[in-house]
Amino acid sequence: MTPLLALALTEDIGAGDVTSTACVPADLRATGVFLTREPLTLAGTAILTELYPNLKLHHRDGETLPPNTPIATAEGTARTLLELERTALNFLQRLSGVATLAHAFTAEVAHTNCRILDTRKTTPGFRALEKAAAAAGGVTNHRMGLYDAILIKNNHISAAGGVRQAITAARTSGLPIEIEVRTLAELHEALAENADHLLLDNLTPQQASEWIAIIDHRAKVELSGGITLETVRAYAETGADFVSVGAITHSARAVDISFRLELSV
């Protein structure tokens, strides 16, 4: 069992489920069905397979499901099923919420060549799970952390002494270089230094179109900064290669999934 899941169980169960111990016979067996209560894109089923040794999955991560769809059925003692219920639902509802929002964003740009990226704006400790959920919804995972890709942002530029200095120093890593540019002067300097990937932050769609015309395919272009479901289509239609959206992981609403206990005959 992963440390995160073990921590979640300890947090919820503690010394024991006093309600189930008091009310439910120890040898009573049951099945529990996880059921959608609203349309959603599924994610987090790996958590269920870790929690329940006797589990039948009816659907897989990435599937878009209507309401009243059985997701999985678990078997065991009623006490155990009840002990695990809230932890299982917390993970499943949260991760399916991320996948559902990710799917909504990708659907908005499906007619373009632009891909939606996630970010590092994740719940601490949940990054791998939330990024897997975003991918289940059709999003392309950006870097996992600070260790696997170069992304030079405004504070790095200031600390390095400028765009040229930052790119020159970063070349020694041998990794592709993405750099955030805030002004047209920085844009031209980054292009002169053959940056691989440009991050344009907080532009309007009109401004983004103008800057992308200047770039003219000399670098990959990523747009970011407060982009919403209502505006993402306009940003994707500028010709950008990527749009990054932190809200997919930091602001996704947990979807409605229920757990229905049924006593074994």
Of 180, 186, 222, 241, the catalytic one is 180
Of 12, 50, 75, 86, the catalytic one is 86
The class of domain 3-106+252-263 in CATH terms is alpha beta
Amino acid code (one letter) for 164? R
Active site residue 118: no
Q: What does the mean pLDDT of the chain come to?
A: 97
- The answer, yes or no, to whether residue 265 has pLDDT greater than 70, is no
Q: What is the pLDDT of residue 166?
A: 97
- The answer, yes or no, to whether residue 182 has pLDDT greater than 80, is yes
With contact defined as beta carbons under 8 Å apart, do 85 and 78 qualify?
no
For the whole model, what pTM was predicted? 0.96
Active site residue 86: yes
**Measured distance CA(223)–CA(238) in Å, rounded:** 10
Active site residue 148: no
Q: What is the pLDDT of residue 99?
A: 98
Of 50, 201, 237, 256, the catalytic one is 201
**Measured distance CA(247)–CA(226) in Å, rounded:** 8
What's the mean pLDDT in 167-178? 93
Q: What is the pLDDT of residue 176?
A: 85
**Measured distance CA(167)–CA(182) in Å, rounded:** 15
Active site residue 131: no
Break the chain into its structural domains and give their ranges.
3-106+252-263, 108-250
pLDDT digits (tens, 9 = 90+) for 116-161: 999 999 999 999 999 999 999 999 999 999 999 999 999 999 999 9
**Measured distance CA(132)–CA(44) in Å, rounded:** 8
Q: What is the pLDDT of residue 1?
A: 84
Of 29, 115, 127, 153, the catalytic one is 153
Active site residue 260: no
pLDDT digits (tens, 9 = 90+) for 67-77: 999 999 999 99
CATH number among 3.40.50.1370, 3.40.1110.10, 3.20.20.70, 3.90.1640.10, domain 108-250:
3.20.20.70
Of 29, 115, 120, 121, the catalytic one is 121
